[in-house]
Structure 1
Amino acid sequence: MSLMILIICAVMLTACVGTSSEEGEEDGEKNIHFLYNFSTNSLDPHVDSSYVPIRAGIAETLIRLDEENLNIEPWLAESWEGEDGENWTIQLHEGIKFQNGNTMDAEAVKKSLDRSLEENVAIQNALKIKSIEADGLTLQITTEPFPEFISELVNPNVSIIDVTEEDIVNHPVGTGPFKLTSFSPGSKLELERFDDYWDGASKLDTVTFSFNEDANARSLALESGQVDIVYRPEVESLENLQSDGSIEVESTATFRVHQMTMNVQRESLKDVNVRRAVDALIDRQGIVDEILLGHAEAAAGPFLPSLPFAPDYEEKLQGADVAVEYLKEAGYTIQDGVMQKDGEPLKLTLLTYPARADLPLIAQVFQSDAKQIGIEVEIRQIEIPEEYMASNRDWDLATYSNLTAPRGDAGYYLNATYHPTGALNFSGADEPKLTAIIDELNQAVDQDERSALAEQAADYVNEQMINSFVLHPSTIVAYNKDKVVNWVTTKSEYYMINNKLDVK
């Protein structure tokens, strides 16, 4: 019986990740097989929430993040000006071609930006563009007063593609070092080197970029040699992986936070004391130690403490007793082992999703701890959290993971998550005082002023407990060090497959 189970698992694993990386090199070609944890059914970079086109090296943005210095730097753009925060001149690099051979000039970039604005309301709100004019290699863009406009061009949903192509969902054409040869939705992409890449052609011939949301399967695929690089292997497998002399495991602090998103439109969670009780029940250090095995840092707020705009929080009282006191303030009592108010038991629906293996485990720990004080928590598994939470309000809490400073600045997260027009405002927050702080931040130029305003916003979120923050996870990547050369685990998680990646 055990042998049959092993055989079935092996067959399923092969089906998930495709052929062995060695098979792609039988004819001598240089290939890397990369296994990612999120699947996608669309490669449209202007709406794809998994950002695969930029991660797979198909598309690029005008500006990118300099991760060493936490500021922005040119990419497809050569330079920019816009001292008044409204009128922007962007100069493009000369000689850049799309992967179909067409020239990337200002008119082509304008059409790509126009399409991203048409297809994505969140991009409209984020960029605040009034008009775009194109002339040769120069773009003239007018925005609302918005000094941080250029940093928003780091967003992968503003990737530059040739919009004259017919099938952008399945075959986008960008300017990156690898062009798409085939796409199996939910399964994998096959890519080949773009010989005319503007920043120097890759030494690799091909790349396979595949998906598997099962962390254990990802680890097994690397151990068996079916893939070369695995993004977020199973934490429990790290000891085995590290004992293999051919495998390198990297654990890198990133700009990410695992949070407990609270639907403040739900009747019970409209009371801040109920939200504070939820926060008090979260055993952060226990989760870091037991679920992440130390590959994380307990979170006091959305931003890593090392960032200049992260507030210094007062230490909170935590635990079941504290949660019970908050619930008493909200009018709840425990009767016959059930937390209730006016005869109605407190029941919470908690969303989670499997693509990040630690989130369902966090949900289970919370469910168990809540049960100890008479709160019934129903865990509901969903597949694509952004789609579900944006379209449905039949939930109370959600374990969710979010990049909070992928531009090296607080503006992105605060606008997306707490502004009424934000694309990631799943909590339904509409707080005039908080909105005013964010609006002021959007017009501030001085970095010290921006940091102070970001701290004010984060303090307000903490005071009103609009969301609760669990931990800052490290990004773990494992790869075959006897083969892979020049892999870099980035803090932003945007840049993965590039022209420097190589094999021995």
Structure 2
Amino acid sequence: MAYKTKVFAALFMSLLLLLTGCGNNNSSSSGAQDSQKASAPVKDSGDKTTLTVGLDDDPPQLDPHFSTAAVDRQVFHSIYDKLIDVDEKLNFVPQLAKKWDISEDGKTYTFYLQENVKFHDGTPFNAEAVKFNFERMLDPNAGSPRASELSSIQTIEVVDENTLKVQLKEPYSPFLAALSDRAGMMVSPTAVKEKGADFANSPVGTGPFKFVSRVKQDKIEVEKNADYWGGAPKFEKIVYRPYSDENVRLTNLTSGELDIISKVPPKDVEKLKTDSNIKLSEVGALGFQGLYLNHKKAPFNNKALRQALDLVIDRDAIIKVALRNTAVPSAGAIPPDSWAFDKNIKPTKKNVEKAKKIMADAGFPNGFEFTLQLSPKPVEEQMSQMIQSMAAEAGIKVKLEIVEFGTMLDNMDNFKFDAVRLGWSGRTDPDGNIFALYHSTGSINYGYSNPKMDELLQKARVETDQAKRKDIYSEATKLGQEEVPYIFLYHELDYKAYKNNLQGFKHIPDQMMRFHDVSFK
């Protein structure tokens, strides 16, 4: 125990010295803007008609059918409606579908749609529009990440103007959960046909706010949809601003430029709890955080080297030092608040000697090296430096490469990486986490393939008994610990911080901000 304490203390002190010189190192274009804003923050104008939102990154994609970043969804919830939404307890609640029926065999879903709803461009929302959206996502030539979420669909039948019947190939337990996220977000068929690939630059939905304009790395503006079917929202306009630098994001909240921020720096959680001008809300998040690995090339096409890296990481130290105890260690893709979470499966414990033996047995007695890409954020740099230091104990050399968020996603899509420090925001059904990551066709799978894993995850999808599904997911999680397709680090707690004169905000565990019912006092 004494040895472990000394090692931890030495690591902590070395990090403090290291971070003194690099805490403000931000090479992204947004970083230059952030620095300017920090030196001359804009004070509260007293405007009660405009909401200004601070995001943790610039959304790469404004078309929900092709989005792969969590930050995109923060803006989506203003522009688009979904067929189904979730409440604060993650129960499914009506949105564009006012109700639905499921057949006894679990293969037929009948949706009864809201009437007299129109897209922002005047196009009627109806069963034909839903059919168009489903077919767009399922089109094999389109390459939508949503295709895997809707792959169980066999036929789509327009019963009448406001009734749609969907026949599945087999029972698919996560179907409603998929429709409560991007696969359920409805885009205007007219706008898609007219704009083609340019749709993402001027998106059209049915949501409470209409898209107005965008300046990349600066702001996205949306305006009030006065004719919104659910009643006009309270704000005339919302301005979303990206702040990749977490310190600047917080500064602009406390100084008055921002009204609410999507993520709170872990080091500032305790401070905000005592700030009388700010409200701090906390929920358990649905996702996971860790390292994505490229399985298509060395070194991580070698299971032994994946296992070795997994074994050198001290998750408790990362959570204590970098995250200030705002997270819990992760053993897999399913978070503690999920019904499918298995408390008997424990996170990997640091074991440098075992890591060295695994590498030696695999023919790498002197370790190996790789590049870890990370976002230009202080906490990301601190975590990555800790991982670099821990890996060095076993002879694993880690080169750190700071990459702008959108470029990082492009690199991942094109397999131009060894490893990436990034997580997954999570889904209401565990399938949305574990299938997406582990299945060979998963939307966030980067080359990992195991027929046994595929079989387990397919089996979980068609099983309608929740207890049996949980058992299957436990087996898949254990297999994942052996195969190490992804290095799990932690499950974060989600914090939203906002001015104390903001009212009506509901903190949903999916981490997405919804502003239809929000206003200033």
Normalising to structure 1: TM-score of the pair? 0.87
Is 1:153 equivalent to 2:179 in the alignment? yes
Show the counterpart of 2:353. 321
Q: Give the distance between the partners of 2:380 and 2:347, measured in 1 at CA.
A: 24
Is 1:210 equivalent to 2:241 in the alignment? yes
Give the direction of change, closer, same or farther, for the CA distance of 1:243–1:155 in structure 2 (3 Å limit).
closer
Q: Secondary structure at the match of 2:146?
A: helix
Q: Bigger shift: 428-437 or 374-383?
A: 374-383
Show the counterpart of 2:99. 79
Q: Is the 8 A contact 1:354 1:360 kept in 2?
A: yes
Q: Give the distance between the partners of 1:437 and 1:18, measured in 2 at CA.
A: 55
Show the counterpart of 1:489. 507
Is 1:451 equivalent to 2:470 in the alignment? yes
Show the counterpart of 1:226. 257
Show the counterpart of 2:144. 121
The amino acid that maps onto 2:475 is: Q
Show the counterpart of 1:262. 293
Show the counterpart of 1:502. 519
Q: Give the distance between the partners of 2:40 and 2:253, measured in 1 at CA.
A: 12
The offset of 1:159, in angstroms, is 1.0
The amino acid that maps onto 2:382 is: L
Alignment length (residue pairs): 476
Q: Give the distance between the partners of 1:90 and 1:440, measured in 2 at CA.
A: 26
Show the counterpart of 2:402. 381
Q: Give the distance between the partners of 2:361 and 2:88, measured in 1 at CA.
A: 45
Q: Is the 8 A contact 2:84 2:179 kept in 1?
A: yes
Q: Give the distance between the partners of 1:153 and 1:54, measured in 2 at CA.
A: 17
1:164 to 187, 190, 193: 190
The offset of 1:285, in angstroms, is 0.8
Give the direction of change, closer, same or farther, for the CA distance of 1:124–1:293 in structure 2 (3 Å limit).
same
1:135-146 alignment runs, 5 A limit: 135-146=160-171
Q: Give the distance between the partners of 2:41 and 2:138, measured in 1 at CA.
A: 39
Show the counterpart of 2:460. 441
Q: Is the 8 A contact 2:310 2:348 kept in 1?
A: no
What is the identity percentage for the equivalent residue pairs of Structure 1 and Structure 2? 26
Q: Secondary structure at the match of 1:78?
A: strand
Q: Is the 8 A contact 1:216 1:233 kept in 2?
A: no
Give the direction of change, closer, same or farther, for the CA distance of 1:183–1:391 in structure 2 (3 Å limit).
same
Q: Secondary structure at the match of 1:169?
A: helix
Give the direction of change, closer, same or farther, for the CA distance of 1:56–1:313 in structure 2 (3 Å limit).
closer
The offset of 1:196, in angstroms, is 2.0
Q: Secondary structure at the match of 1:412?
A: helix
Q: Bigger shift: 313-322 or 57-66?
A: 313-322
Show the counterpart of 1:130. 154
Q: Secondary structure at the match of 2:106?
A: coil
Show the counterpart of 2:423. 401
Q: Give the distance between the partners of 2:423 and 2:376, measured in 1 at CA.
A: 12
Q: Give the distance between the partners of 1:65 and 1:460, measured in 2 at CA.
A: 31
1:291-330 alignment runs, 5 A limit: 291-311=322-342, 312-314=344-346, 316-330=348-362
1:336-347 alignment runs, 5 A limit: 339-340=366-367, 346-347=368-369
2:51 to 32, 54, 73: 32
Q: Bigger shift: 448-457 or 300-309?
A: 300-309
Q: Is the 8 A contact 1:259 1:400 kept in 2?
A: yes
Q: Give the distance between the partners of 1:437 and 1:209, measured in 2 at CA.
A: 41
Q: Give the distance between the partners of 2:388 and 2:243, measured in 1 at CA.
A: 27
Is 1:200 equivalent to 2:231 in the alignment? yes
Give the direction of change, closer, same or farther, for the CA distance of 1:164–1:305 in structure 2 (3 Å limit).
same
The offset of 1:437, in angstroms, is 0.6
The offset of 1:76, in angstroms, is 0.8
C-alpha RMSD of the superposition: 2.7
Show the counterpart of 1:336. none
The offset of 1:24, in angstroms, is 7.6
Give the direction of change, closer, same or farther, for the CA distance of 1:102–1:436 in structure 2 (3 Å limit).
same
1:38-53 alignment runs, 5 A limit: 38-50=57-69, 51-52=72-73
Q: Give the distance between the partners of 1:316 and 1:123, measured in 2 at CA.
A: 32
Show the counterpart of 1:111. 132
The offset of 1:184, in angstroms, is 1.9
Q: Give the distance between the partners of 1:468 and 1:94, measured in 2 at CA.
A: 47
Q: Is the 8 A contact 1:133 1:139 kept in 2?
A: yes
Give the direction of change, closer, same or farther, for the CA distance of 1:243–1:432 in structure 2 (3 Å limit).
same
Q: Secondary structure at the match of 2:283?
A: strand
Q: Give the distance between the partners of 1:150 and 1:243, measured in 2 at CA.
A: 40
The amino acid that maps onto 1:415 is: F
Q: Is the 8 A contact 1:60 1:76 kept in 2?
A: yes
The amino acid that maps onto 2:253 is: L
Q: Is the 8 A contact 2:120 2:205 kept in 1?
A: yes
Normalising to structure 2: TM-score of the pair? 0.84
Give the direction of change, closer, same or farther, for the CA distance of 1:10–1:310 in structure 2 (3 Å limit).
closer
Q: Secondary structure at the match of 2:135?
A: helix
1:401-440 alignment runs, 5 A limit: 401-404=423-426, 406-407=427-428, 409-426=429-446, 428-440=447-459
Give the direction of change, closer, same or farther, for the CA distance of 1:232–1:96 in structure 2 (3 Å limit).
same
Q: Runs of 5+ in structure 2 lacking a partner?
A: 1-23, 25-30
The offset of 1:330, in angstroms, is 2.5
1:99 to 72, 96, 120: 120
Q: Secondary structure at the match of 1:57?
A: helix
Q: Is the 8 A contact 1:17 1:35 kept in 2?
A: no
Deviations 1:294-338 (A, max 9, x none): 1111112222234332231256542323322332332333xxxxx
Give the direction of change, closer, same or farther, for the CA distance of 1:103–1:459 in structure 2 (3 Å limit).
same
The amino acid that maps onto 2:180 is: V
Q: Give the distance between the partners of 2:314 and 2:236, measured in 1 at CA.
A: 47
Q: Bigger shift: 57-66 or 129-138?
A: 129-138
The offset of 1:42, in angstroms, is 3.6
